[in-house]
């Protein structure tokens, strides 16, 4: 499958078979990495890593993935370049596109990463925006494949803030790949209706489903429960309000038992605020899978770079 020259801004832009190809490639690259085998598909490629928001997993994954494949990553923090400050995004994009072969962006506005892709004329990869987090979803889906073998038909529950970038992106990815996906959240934090309708159109092809509910009983029969921090980066002033309305949706022993299954896995994109969205005992009991998920950021991000830019 030829994805050369493509940007990776949201999973909405990718067909199910293209997403599946990236997961298959990531699994191959992961197996090679475990054997000590690295590649050279990015040899001679220079990659800009733009971070308006700091990160552990995204930065390390892009850096190591790039180096493993022979490329050169250049970290550009919010104080290192004039992106949208003394220089408009369009002009910065045109400069970077003349000097770099690919660009990763992690920041606030989806509009920014879209402008970078439009004006740089090189592949641009979304490391996180306020709307979407597509590279994380690839890691999540690879982890579920490792646990269950097949994604189609899995029942995945997302408990927490149902209108943040993770809920949005999980809904898109699940709908494309045929999972039965449920957002379990208070009505005040439900996703936009237009995105739900779009995902329902994806489900017509994939045979998946999307459910949005306040009812905790929705966890019954869940193969996997996913949660995320209750306040995203930049929303810290909302912490007290979020805790008060999201407390009933905490992933705890009671919720896990309510699944009625003994092989339900828990996922968390990290960092975790233990005691808020998930209790420490439940987190630690499922830590092996959660940190497989964290490691898989590297393998899936490497796959995206190799597929869209590699030789």
- The catalytic residues are 106, 133, 136, 228, 269, 297
* 292 is known to lie in a ligand binding site: no
What is the four-CA torsion angle of 176, 295, 155, 258, rounded to 10 degrees?
-160
* 270 is known to lie in a ligand binding site: yes
Q: With 0-12 CB in 10 A as exposed, 13-18 as middle and 19+ as buried, what is 187?
A: exposed
* 134 is known to lie in a ligand binding site: yes
* 82 is known to lie in a ligand binding site: yes
* 233 is known to lie in a ligand binding site: yes
* 308 is known to lie in a ligand binding site: no
* 1 is known to lie in a ligand binding site: no
* 228 is known to lie in a ligand binding site: yes
Which long-range CB contacts under 8 A does 144-150 form with residues at least 24 apart? Answer: 144/223, 144/224, 144/265, 144/267, 145/23, 145/27, 146/292, 146/296, 147/224, 147/265, 147/289, 148/223
Q: Can you tell me the distance from the alpha carbon of 245 to that of 9, in angstroms, rounded to the nearest whole number?
A: 31
* 147 is known to lie in a ligand binding site: no
Strand partners, 227: 159, 268
Per the annotation, binding residues for L-ornithine are: 165, 228, 232-233
Per the annotation, binding residues are: 55-58, 82, 106, 133-136, 165, 228, 232-233, 269-270, 297
Per the annotation, binding residues for carbamoyl phosphate are: 55-58, 82, 106, 133-136, 269-270, 297
């Amino acid at each position: 499958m030829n994805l050369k020259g493509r940007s990776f801004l949201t999973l909405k832009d990718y067909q199910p078979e293209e997403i599946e190809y990236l997961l298959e490639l990531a699994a191959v690259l992961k197996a090679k990495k475990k054997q000590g085998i690295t590649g050279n598909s990015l040899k001679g490629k220079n990659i800009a890593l733009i971070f308006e928001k700091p990160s552990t997993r995204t930065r390390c994954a892009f850096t190591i993935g790039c180096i493993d494949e022979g490329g050169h990553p250049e970290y550009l923090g919010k104080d290192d370049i004039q992106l949208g400050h003394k220089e408009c995004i369009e002009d910065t994009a045109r400069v970077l596109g003349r000097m770099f072969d690919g660009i990763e962006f992690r920041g606030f506005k989806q509009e920014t990463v879209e402008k970078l892709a439009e004006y740089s004329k090189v592949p641009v990869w979304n490391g996180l925006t306020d709307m979407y987090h597509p590279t994380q979803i690839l890691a999540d889906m690879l982890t579920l494949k490792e646990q269950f073998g097949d994604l189609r038909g899995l029942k995945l529950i997302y408990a927490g803030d149902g209108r943040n970038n993770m809920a949005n992106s999980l809904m898109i990815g699940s709908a494309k790949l045929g999972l039965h996906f449920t957002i379990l959240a208070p009505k005040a934090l439900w996703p936009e209706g237009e995105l739900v309708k779009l995902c329902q159109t994806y489900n017509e092809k994939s045979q998946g489903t999307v459910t949005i509910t306040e009812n905790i009983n929705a966890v019954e029969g869940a193969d996997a429960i996913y949660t995320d921090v209750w306040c995203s980066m930049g929303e810290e002033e909302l912490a007290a309000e979020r805790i008060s309305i999201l407390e009933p949706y905490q992933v705890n022993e009671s919720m896990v038992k309510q699944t009625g299954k003994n092989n339900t896995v828990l996922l968390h994109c990290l960092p975790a605020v233990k005691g808020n969205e998930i209790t420490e005992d439940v987190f630690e009991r499922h830590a092996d899978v959660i940190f497989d998920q964290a490691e898989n950021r590297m393998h899936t991000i490497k796959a995206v770079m190799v597929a869209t830019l590699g030789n």
